[in-house]
Chains A and B, each alone.
Chain A
């Protein structure tokens, strides 16, 4: 009949919203509600939730009495803030000069093909996010890929495939 499905849906949404808003409320309780606290609050939400949900931005705006458009403006200005959920694993491919001349483009292409996403996107299972960065300062190891906090140097397309395969096994 498919009756139970739509019936549960509002409940699920209510639950999810409640979890999200309770997490954000927990964070907000640590702050006094002053406008100067905007960036620390955004950073903490980003860290705890992995992204800044739109409802959360609105909640923050109200809490510190700033227009929501201004909060959105700040959230979109800094590259550290994400407005969509990021994957549990963050893969960053360096495209600095050193890495570029040593084949970063091919490595990026390989990763894109393997994961089925473009740079800047997240896989639908929320497992991986692929990003490019300008330079890690590890040019001696070029080309460089950073997965979560671990640096992989002197990358080749084969090594890139291997890293993904190892990750996926776990």
Chain B
């Protein structure tokens, strides 16, 4: 019922008390307030500042009641209900006091009700009617008609202080639910108002735009800019991150006009982040693909990504487009064999669609070359956790984070990438009930709130974790009983970590010995500890080792198989868990049944009535290489954007250009679609039914809310029609049919049926129709029997800094955007909030490079270069640069390293050696050898060049005019840079 973690109703036991309200005997849970007891018994008490999710505030003075034996008129929202209490809610004294309080509130409210967008939904209006307030009564109290400026800076909502009644709901929501603390009540007396730091526009504050304030404002003081009211609501699941928030879409006509969180959802309890609340307008974007498109004759694939789409492609009927695709696929399969075909499935679309896509690849095309972008995020998790525990997924549930004593967050910027989980961590820290260890090279939000922040160098996780385990074992703090009873391989682990002393780890990781010891003590001594991690762990050439180390740590301390503990890979995409579960992977059928095990193959062959390939297929990263080498001739890319998401962009682009035939199926003309021969228009999340599986293995139901634009269709229909054209009709009527087939072939989904999911969904494994699902794995015994320790050694990242590339670039995401930006960049609100990529650089590096905040810089690696504005911030560490990968204008993956983890084949996105240079300098130095030298190594440049005394003097004194007479006219910023640089060299 609420977004906060430990809510009043959860703290309350099962014990009840009995009190009398207005002569009626009322039962209420012990610990309730008088107001809650009354509301629970359907007795109305007016209030403007009460909210079930927030701590009682007692500000509005409207919920006053009379309680026998108590003096005065207490506020019912702050008074605890006790057994035998006698309460009166409607006496003349109560009504009189409420009216006065209400008149005072209204006197300070600039009401213009008829034109206010809150009209008829305004709590103030309702209570004014209820209390029979008359205009003349509060007019006499009006002190001033001063009009305060309205803050219209935010793209999604306005703040009108003239309509604010200072109930404090927005402030409490911002602090208690979101944990952002962007607003508070400032100034005093009559001047008091809700204010940001420095009384600036909300967009200049720490506001994270989650809109929890907006959802709670009782008046028109906080109003969405989009004010069309919906005529119906449809419950469905948010399509952004892997948290899987349940939402209600408000629909008017065929458009989504409003969103609200589902208060009953065990996942988000009504809460939403900025993407979930304001990010769905992409579905109505004019760029949506509405008809199949074919590349016109004579247009090569060397066009620019921003080239003219209409010029290159022509519209076609579904029949023509699918005929062409079917013919080409059949022809190329016959000519080069089935393994010359590759299919990319998607972590964005439903389980049913992933199932159909992998079935298409395996049964129709005859290849196991099917993969999706989990390869780029949690492939290492799946490999390592299968080896250690026997299941590649999160062991416990999101709700467990609220039950832990200690959370260890490593390589996850949770508050930006999984905001609703980030919120739980913030709330728990604010409550003072838990300890938090954060290991991250960047000073992220959670790091600032942490008990210990281990700021290790990128790619040194194994050394750090081994040293923590070294301390635990050396001091005998491990859970010996758990190790003896439930695990194997401890001795090998102990022998390996013995060499990883804190001193040695300090050398490798840059984290002080004392902090390593402190973290080890905190972790080992916590009764219930959980590990949360993200791409900071997995996207390394040592990704599998990193995850194995985390598994070691959890088993070493007995933190598996109990409430409030566990292994929590935070999945990045709405259905990346489901896409893996559905076997959109080259080596397994649905439910992680290996393709090279005969028994499995026979089962699927008999179910699908065809023969299947027994050789595991290629991963995404291998398919790109194979395309480059000409081994893969055709790719069918569905709901993926490899140009933007794969490392080493220019290599990927070349590979795709070389294909004989490329089919892209998407909702937008993505960067990849520009290289396609055929583009097929798909339906977006709100336009279809199906299921998504979230990060905690919860299979949740997606419900169709609007019709797709034009001729766009759900992906499962398109793929089924193509299968039929190729002579293998699947015969599905709807997505529930597909789920029946999934359940029959996938033991862990055996009990999943659409009709069972409408309310809260079900967590797999769910073996049969009576199985209530499994909130916690590995209770009593691990899925693989004994948990297995893996002794792993530290290996440095594939790339390290050099003189030419002295910085390490690490990539990631930002709050407002999502992945390759196909959706979020087309959301007006999200794109306005964060319109361009920014490189974070530490002040020390900025000083060395003579770069200031806001400068346009060129970031270059061995693989490419991009330009982006710089933000000088201590969020970054010295020697570290950060750039998210959402922006096609500054694509981080033009720079990243395609080196792979040997087992999981995940690329090392997190460590690339780069250099940063002022862009004007980069351009100027391209045709000026002296400047190029100077930019790279100023001292050398001065030495190397044979300079006359006059020239030396001019350079040393920074005489720009003289210098210009030799180099030609210099840009103003370049002049400044030169002077600063030369003065540093003195």
- Which residues in A have some Cβ–Cβ distance to B below 8 Å? 1, 3-4, 6-7, 10-11, 54, 57-58, 61-62, 65-73, 76-79
Q: Which residues of B contact A6 (CB under 8 A)?
A: 972, 976
Question: By the criterion CB–CB under 8 Å, are A3 and B185 in contact?
Answer: no
Q: Which residues of B contact A76 (CB under 8 A)?
A: 186-188, 195, 199
User: Could you tell me the distance in whole angstroms from the C-beta of B842 to the nearest C-beta in chain A?
Assistant: 14
> Complex: how many Å from CA A10 to CA B979?
12
Question: By the criterion CB–CB under 8 Å, are A72 and B186 in contact?
Answer: yes
Question: By the criterion CB–CB under 8 Å, are B198 and A72 in contact?
Answer: yes
Question: By the criterion CB–CB under 8 Å, are A72 and B184 in contact?
Answer: yes
Interface residues of B in 187-234 (CB under 8 A from A): 187-188, 195-199, 205-206
> Complex: how many Å from CA A67 to CA B185?
12
Question: By the criterion CB–CB under 8 Å, are B976 and A73 in contact?
Answer: no
Interface residues of B in 960-986 (CB under 8 A from A): 960-961, 972, 975-976, 979-980
Interface residues of B in 250-299 (CB under 8 A from A): none
Question: By the criterion CB–CB under 8 Å, are A69 and B187 in contact?
Answer: no
User: Could you tell me the distance in whole angstroms from the C-beta of B164 to the nearest C-beta in chain A?
Assistant: 15
Pairs across A and B, CB under 8 Å, 29 listed: A3-B975, A3-B976, A4-B979, A6-B972, A7-B975, A7-B979, A7-B980, A10-B976, A54-B197, A54-B198, A58-B197, A61-B197, A66-B181, A67-B182, A69-B174, A69-B181, A69-B195, A69-B197, A70-B184, A72-B195, A72-B197, A72-B199, A73-B185, A73-B186, A73-B195, A76-B186, A76-B195, A77-B187, A78-B188
> Complex: how many Å from CA A71 to CA B186?
9
Q: A1-B961, A77-B186 are in contact. Are A69 and B196 (CB under 8 A)?
A: yes
Does B704 count as interface, using CB distance less than 8 angstroms? no
Shortest Cβ distance from A79 into B: residue: B188
> Complex: how many Å from CA A78 to CA B184?
15
Question: By the criterion CB–CB under 8 Å, are B206 and A67 in contact?
Answer: yes
Question: By the criterion CB–CB under 8 Å, are A65 and B449 in contact?
Answer: yes
Q: Which residues of A contact B499 (CB under 8 A)?
A: none
Q: Which residues of A contact B186 (CB under 8 A)?
A: 69, 72-73, 76-77
> Complex: how many Å from CA A10 to CA B186?
32
Q: Which residues of A contact B180 (CB under 8 A)?
A: 67
Question: By the criterion CB–CB under 8 Å, are A69 and B188 in contact?
Answer: no
> Complex: how many Å from CA A4 to CA B979?
8
> Complex: how many Å from CA A66 to CA B175?
10
Question: By the criterion CB–CB under 8 Å, are B960 and A69 in contact?
Answer: no
> Complex: how many Å from CA A163 to CA B188?
33
What 1/0 mask marks residues of chain B from 823 to 862 whose CB sits below 8 Å from any chain A CB?
0000000000000000000000000000010000000000
> Complex: how many Å from CA A54 to CA B852?
20
User: Could you tell me the distance in whole angstroms from the C-beta of B613 to the nearest C-beta in chain A?
Assistant: 57
Q: Is the interface of A mostly helix, strand, loop or mixed?
A: helix
Q: Which residues of A contact B187 (CB under 8 A)?
A: 76-77
What 1/0 mask marks residues of chain B from 627 to 653 whose CB sits below 8 Å from any chain A CB?
000000000000000000000000000
Q: Which residues of B contact A4 (CB under 8 A)?
A: 979
> Complex: how many Å from CA A69 to CA B195?
7
Shortest Cβ distance from B188 into A: residue: A77
Does B448 count as interface, using CB distance less than 8 angstroms? yes
> Complex: how many Å from CA A77 to CA B189?
9
Q: Which residues of A contact B899 (CB under 8 A)?
A: none
Question: By the criterion CB–CB under 8 Å, are A62 and B448 in contact?
Answer: yes
> Complex: how many Å from CA A74 to CA B384?
50
**Besides A11-B980, A69-B182, A69-B206, 20 other A-B contacts (C-beta < 8 A):** A3-B975, A4-B979, A6-B972, A7-B979, A10-B980, A54-B197, A65-B449, A66-B181, A67-B175, A68-B181, A68-B197, A69-B181, A69-B195, A69-B196, A72-B196, A72-B197, A76-B199, A77-B186, A77-B187, A78-B188
User: Could you tell me the distance in whole angstroms from the C-beta of A110 to the nearest C-beta in chain B?
Assistant: 27
User: Could you tell me the distance in whole angstroms from the C-beta of A166 to the nearest C-beta in chain B?
Assistant: 35
Q: Which residues of A contact B195 (CB under 8 A)?
A: 69, 72-73, 76
> Complex: how many Å from CA A54 to CA B976?
28
User: Could you tell me the distance in whole angstroms from the C-beta of A24 to the nearest C-beta in chain B?
Assistant: 15
Shortest Cβ distance from A10 into B: residue: B852
Q: Which residues of B contact A65 (CB under 8 A)?
A: 449
What 1/0 mask marks residues of chain B from 432 to 448 whose CB sits below 8 Å from any chain A CB?
00000000000000001
User: Could you tell me the distance in whole angstroms from the C-beta of B555 to the nearest C-beta in chain A?
Assistant: 33
Does B739 count as interface, using CB distance less than 8 angstroms? no
Question: By the criterion CB–CB under 8 Å, are A57 and B197 in contact?
Answer: yes
Give 5 closest A-B pairs by Cβ, nearest first. Answer: A67-B181, A69-B184, A73-B184, A68-B197, A73-B186
Shortest Cβ distance from A13 into B: residue: B852
Shortest Cβ distance from A68 into B: residue: B197
> Complex: how many Å from CA A91 to CA B908?
64
Q: Which residues of B contact A72 (CB under 8 A)?
A: 184, 186, 195-199
Does B662 count as interface, using CB distance less than 8 angstroms? no
Q: Which residues of B contact A61 (CB under 8 A)?
A: 197
> Complex: how many Å from CA A70 to CA B197?
8
Shortest Cβ distance from A9 into B: residue: B976
Question: By the criterion CB–CB under 8 Å, are B206 and A68 in contact?
Answer: yes
Interchain CB contact (< 8 A) of B960 among A1, A10, A62, A67? A1
Does B183 count as interface, using CB distance less than 8 angstroms? yes
What 1/0 mask marks residues of chain B from 547 to 559 whose CB sits below 8 Å from any chain A CB?
0000000000000
Interface residues of B in 734-771 (CB under 8 A from A): none
Q: Which residues of A contact B184 (CB under 8 A)?
A: 67, 69-70, 72-73
> Complex: how many Å from CA A120 to CA B199?
18
Q: Which residues of A contact B972 (CB under 8 A)?
A: 6
User: Could you tell me the distance in whole angstroms from the C-beta of B166 to the nearest C-beta in chain A?
Assistant: 12
> Complex: how many Å from CA A65 to CA B450?
10
Q: Which residues of B contact A73 (CB under 8 A)?
A: 184-186, 195
Shortest Cβ distance from B979 into A: residue: A7
Interface residues of B in 370-421 (CB under 8 A from A): none
Shortest Cβ distance from A71 into B: residue: B197
> Complex: how many Å from CA A76 to CA B187?
5
Q: Which residues of A contact B205 (CB under 8 A)?
A: 69
Q: Which residues of A contact B182 (CB under 8 A)?
A: 67, 69
Q: Which residues of B contact A70 (CB under 8 A)?
A: 175, 181, 184
User: Could you tell me the distance in whole angstroms from the C-beta of A67 to the nearest C-beta in chain B?
Assistant: 2
Shortest Cβ distance from B205 into A: residue: A69
Interface residues of B in 111-126 (CB under 8 A from A): none
User: Could you tell me the distance in whole angstroms from the C-beta of A74 to the nearest C-beta in chain B?
Assistant: 9
> Complex: how many Å from CA A61 to CA B206?
13
User: Could you tell me the distance in whole angstroms from the C-beta of A54 to the nearest C-beta in chain B?
Assistant: 5
> Complex: how many Å from CA A72 to CA B192?
12
> Complex: how many Å from CA A65 to CA B187?
21
Listed residue (A6, A67, A79) with the most chain B CB atoms within 10 angstroms of its CB: A67
> Complex: how many Å from CA A4 to CA B182?
39
> Complex: how many Å from CA A66 to CA B197?
12
User: Could you tell me the distance in whole angstroms from the C-beta of A134 to the nearest C-beta in chain B?
Assistant: 13
Shortest Cβ distance from B185 into A: residue: A73
> Complex: how many Å from CA A68 to CA B185?
12
Question: By the criterion CB–CB under 8 Å, are A3 and B206 in contact?
Answer: no
Q: Which residues of B contact A11 (CB under 8 A)?
A: 980
> Complex: how many Å from CA A159 to CA B205?
47
Shortest Cβ distance from A69 into B: residue: B184
> Complex: how many Å from CA A79 to CA B960?
51
Shortest Cβ distance from B975 into A: residue: A3
> Complex: how many Å from CA A11 to CA B847?
10
> Complex: how many Å from CA A81 to CA B184?
17
> Complex: how many Å from CA A69 to CA B174?
11
Q: Which residues of A contact B183 (CB under 8 A)?
A: 69
User: Could you tell me the distance in whole angstroms from the C-beta of A69 to the nearest C-beta in chain B?
Assistant: 4
> Complex: how many Å from CA A4 to CA B959?
10
Q: Which residues of A contact B961 (CB under 8 A)?
A: 1
> Complex: how many Å from CA A21 to CA B979?
26
Shortest Cβ distance from B196 into A: residue: A69
User: Could you tell me the distance in whole angstroms from the C-beta of A77 to the nearest C-beta in chain B?
Assistant: 5
> Complex: how many Å from CA A77 to CA B186?
6
Shortest Cβ distance from A4 into B: residue: B979
> Complex: how many Å from CA A84 to CA B205?
19
Shortest Cβ distance from A75 into B: residue: B186
Q: Which residues of A contact B206 (CB under 8 A)?
A: 67-69
User: Could you tell me the distance in whole angstroms from the C-beta of B566 to the nearest C-beta in chain A?
Assistant: 28
User: Could you tell me the distance in whole angstroms from the C-beta of B161 to the nearest C-beta in chain A?
Assistant: 14
